[in-house]
Amino acid sequence: MAKQDMKNIKPDESSFNYLMQVLLTDLYKDLEEAESNVKRYSDLVADTTNDMNLAMYGPLLNDALKIKAAVRDKILKMLNTMKDRVRTKEQQASAGSGVEEYTEEMLSELAFKIKEKNG
């Protein structure tokens, strides 16, 4: 996110939605990079032409797998946060507060579109 974008952030719904979208997009990029590193180190560990590959690249593969798991965990936390917001908005809407309603289906469609855009 550019520094200029941060200056335009206000404590309102649209700014929060924008931040969530940017963060989720960045997390998907991080996941792609982690998957690339896992594949690279997996290939190097599996290469039997050098007996030292397992010793050299095994710890790097382990670290890459940990990073990949951490990124996935962050994505799940973001999606759960979004799901909780949707549930809260639905409850408010059913209570007659007039707050705009987002369904879980709309939210998952947004996450899918972001993933497609970056992939």
Could you read off the pLDDT of 14-57 as tens digits, one per residue? 788 888 888 999 999 999 999 999 999 999 999 988 889 989 99
pLDDT band, residue 5 (cuts 50/70/90) = low
pLDDT of residue 70: 96
Q: How many CB atoms lie within 10 A of CB 85?
A: 16
pLDDT of residue 87: 86
State how far the Cα of 12 lies from the Cα of 82, in Å rounded to an integer. 15
Question: Per DSSP, which regions of the chain are E strands?
Answer: none
Tell whether the model's pLDDT for residue 3 goes beyond 60.
no
Could you read off the pLDDT of 58-105 as tens digits, one per residue? 999 999 999 999 999 999 999 898 888 888 888 887 776 555 667 778
**Is 101 within 8 Å of 89 (Cβ atoms)?**
yes
State how far the Cα of 76 lies from the Cα of 38, in Å rounded to an integer. 20
